[in-house]
Chain A
Amino acid sequence: MLQLNSLIKTQMDNNLKGIDMVVGAKGSPLQLILSAVYHIDSPTGNISVEDAKKIKNNRMVGSSIDLLYGDNFKGYRIVGTEKKFLDLYKAKIKEGRKWEDPFEVVVGSKIYSKFNINIDDELVSSHGLRETGEEHADQLFKVVGLLEPSNSVIDQLIVTSPQSIWDLHDDHDHGSEEHEEEHDHDHDEEHDHEHDEEHDHEHDDKEITAMLIKFKSPMNIIQFPRQINEDTNLQAAVPSYEISRLFKLFGFGIETLTYLAYLIIIVSAFSLFINLFNSMKERKYEMALIRTLGSSRRQLSMMIIFESLILTTVGFFIGLLVSRLGVMFVSSLMEESLNYNLKSFGILNEELWLLGLSIFIGLISSIIPALQVYNLNISETLADE
């Protein structure tokens, strides 16, 4: 449980790095985050490039990345975005190159290893974000690059230029290929807003799905999202805030499980004690025999304590093993349904603490049987028989 909790958290945080705010269409902020950052929920809708541009030009914005989607390849999302997107997740090209022309794609590690995709393969996408969408059979995506595994969400994405998505869904609109290049600029130095806007009017009808934003200063995180939410028809959501809200929501369940786990620990400590106690009754004669063979009382008591300690430590390690198997199971489930995986088998600090606890329980529950053995009346035990 500890393992699962921490894995989900690290995986979530991993994907959160470098994203201060997400801007998208109005709707649920959590949904916006889940769709734009974790790529597991449907997007809230589209926003116009023009609106997005206004936000980008705001002084508080450090850098921004456009995201477009609406298509998938066998359930894995095809994201139209800028090349900066790769840098955000520190993704490196393992083979091939980055996309240049429309319909060239770079494929995340999990997808190419699962479907055995190579450079120059052509992928048929289907509309929507689920496998069942209508296929765009007339327009194939050409694989030009494969990404190294980065253990973040990009492993399960297919990345291409925004233009590819626009072209795919809007056959009439061509001839603005340079469009996305413009977004790449750092806008600090652009004071000439009017000019900029005029230029933008050409592409009114274009839409993007969401925009990832990094602020110039962390201070802006409080003020700017509110400003967007109140003054525009866009929605801004802060991932770290939404995710902690999400954790609070299902944290309740985790808490209940934690109490349940404590209860189980107490019950098993008790049953260990009862077991030792009973086995001591059965083995009383053996204990007396060992004493007559020349063992001292202390030796015998230590034997009982060690027995209990060995039991609890072995139990701990078996528990550890089972928990890892459980995590693997949950992970495979998540991978199937959400294209998400949790992998890491390191020992957590909390687990060291658990080891300490189980040793402690081993000691406590063996004290009474050990004392019993210490004060065992050998003569009586032997004669009793």
Chain B
Amino acid sequence: MISTKGLNFKYNEQASFSFPDINLGKDENLLIIGSSGIGKTTLLHLLAGLLESNSGSINLYGQDISKLTQHQIDKFRGQNIGIVFQKPHFVNSLTVKENLQLAQYLGNKKDQNRIIDILSSLDILDKENKKPKKLSQGEKQRASIAMAIVNSPKLILADEPTSSLDDENCDRVIKLLKKQASEFKAQLIVITHDNRLKKHFKKSIKL
């Protein structure tokens, strides 16, 4: 369902990255592991269509996204891909619920019940009318997972979700991500330098 071929990205002459091919079947999760500066975030941005590769192709669910226009990619991403960033980020002037509604609006999906479902499954339903800045660190992280999955994406991309966490929390977050992914029938690709995550994934690629 997800495959890449001969991906190559060049920032400039000194910094260019070639990535190994990825082949991922239905319902398979993937861990991409590699040390800093090796282009992990670049690969994630390529997969998410935030960057355009210099050569190679990315096929997501039968769609070659390197052939889409910028506008089409934005739409495709909004509907099919959820991204969990290293540090949680929100539109700070909106409440948690409004942030989720914004994501739904941009992804062209409106479903009030889904917001409630997700928030209660992440155990932060009581925070729905709070501004993101008022949340604790853990709540923020869960809220950012909610942002990633609110549009029922087929693919969840997570960028270093655990890098700043202690072992206990690292465990908790990755389990939560996996649980949410399977609960809402999404595939999960985690990109990290964190070796602690290896045991949670059957399939992994080392950059």
Contacts and interface: CB of A to CB of B under 8 A. Distances in A.
B77 A294 contact: yes
B41 interface: yes
B107 interface: yes
Given A285-B89, A385-B87, A296 B71 contact: yes
B107 A292 contact: no
B206 to A, nearest CB: 21
Contacts of A379: 42, 45, 50-51
A292 B70 contact: no
B75 A292 contact: no
Given A293-B107, A293-B147, A382-B50, A286 B92 contact: yes
A379 B52 CA distance: 10
Bin chain A's interface residue count: 10 to 19
A289 B106 contact: no
A13 B79 CA distance: 66
B85 interface: yes
B102 A290 contact: yes
A378 B102 contact: no
Nearest to B83: A292
Given A289-B89, A385-B87, A297 B74 contact: yes
Interface in A274-323: 285-286, 289-299
Contact of B71 (A290, A292, A297, A383): A297
B103 A293 contact: yes
B48 interface: yes
Contacts of B48: 292
Contacts of A383: 41-42, 45
Contact of A294 (B78, B85, B87, B92): B78
A47 to B, nearest CB: 73
B91 interface: yes
Contacts of B106: 290, 293-295, 299
Interface in B104-133: 106-108
Among A293, A383, A385, find the residue whose CB has the most chain B CB atoms closer than 10 A.
Answer: A293
B193 to A, nearest CB: 15
B90 interface: yes
Given A294-B107, A297-B74, A379-B51, A289 B90 contact: yes
A92 to B, nearest CB: 58
B77 A290 contact: no
A295 B41 CA distance: 21
A286 B91 CA distance: 6
Nearest to A294: B78
Given A289-B90, A293-B103, A382 B85 contact: yes
A298 B69 CA distance: 13
A294 B75 contact: yes
B91 A291 contact: no
A378 to B, nearest CB: 5
B156 to A, nearest CB: 12
Given A286-B89, A289-B89, A290-B91, A295 B45 contact: no
A214 to B, nearest CB: 66
A71 B146 CA distance: 82
A296 B41 contact: no
Nearest to B86: A385
Contacts of A296: 70-71, 74-75
Contact of A298 (B51, B71, B89): B71
Contacts of B87: 385
Interface in B34-60: 41-42, 45, 48, 50-51
A371 to B, nearest CB: 15
A298 B70 CA distance: 11
B158 to A, nearest CB: 13
B120 to A, nearest CB: 22
Contacts of A292: 48, 50, 77, 83
Among A285, A382, A385, find the residue whose CB has the most chain B CB atoms closer than 10 A.
Answer: A382
16 contacts: A289-B90, A290-B91, A291-B50, A292-B77, A293-B103, A294-B77, A294-B103, A294-B108, A294-B151, A295-B106, A297-B71, A378-B50, A379-B42, A382-B41, A383-B45, A385-B89
Which A-B residue pairs are the 4 nearest by beta carbons? A294-B78, A379-B45, A294-B106, A379-B50
Given A289-B91, A292-B48, 15 more contacts: A286-B90, A290-B91, A290-B106, A292-B50, A293-B103, A294-B75, A294-B79, A294-B106, A296-B75, A297-B70, A299-B106, A378-B50, A379-B51, A385-B85, A385-B87
